[in-house]
Structure 1
Amino acid sequence: MDRQQVLNLYEWQMGVCFRHPAKGEVLTTHVKTIRPPAGGIQDVRACRECVLEMEEQRHGAAARRGQHYQPGCLAAE
């Protein structure tokens, strides 16, 4: 699967990437929901570059464990 095919597995909207907040609003996708100690819930969003990097890390980890890799599941973990 090429990079664009992986990106196409996600829904994108403007937001702030958790790794690059200084970039301001860019296209992002939801990757996790956290519950801060202060209360409430907070959506964690990632930009295209970060999604590709995280998917590559997931692919490598799956290969090391001898497991099947399924792209497009960042928010499910």
Structure 2
Amino acid sequence: MAEDLGARLLSIIAETKINLEDGRVINITASIGVSNFPNHADTWDKLLDIADSAMYLAKNAGRNQVVVGLN
């Protein structure tokens, strides 16, 4: 479920146009790492560490994607 939500967020972010003061319009993307309790960890700190590592895996794999953390 978290992976599906992340994919929906990526879509919404990619479709959002940002108007800059100088008149330019830009788009942004995101890299999202997810983890879940209790499959990945049993404490908040461990869950955050796993999600953070997954986010960096997403960035290193080309960005603009969701990666589920590893146990």
With normalisation by structure 1, the TM-score equals: 0.35
Greater RCO, 1 or 2 (C-alpha within 8 Å, sep 6+): 2
Structure that is richer in helix per residue: 2
Structure that is richer in strand per residue: 1
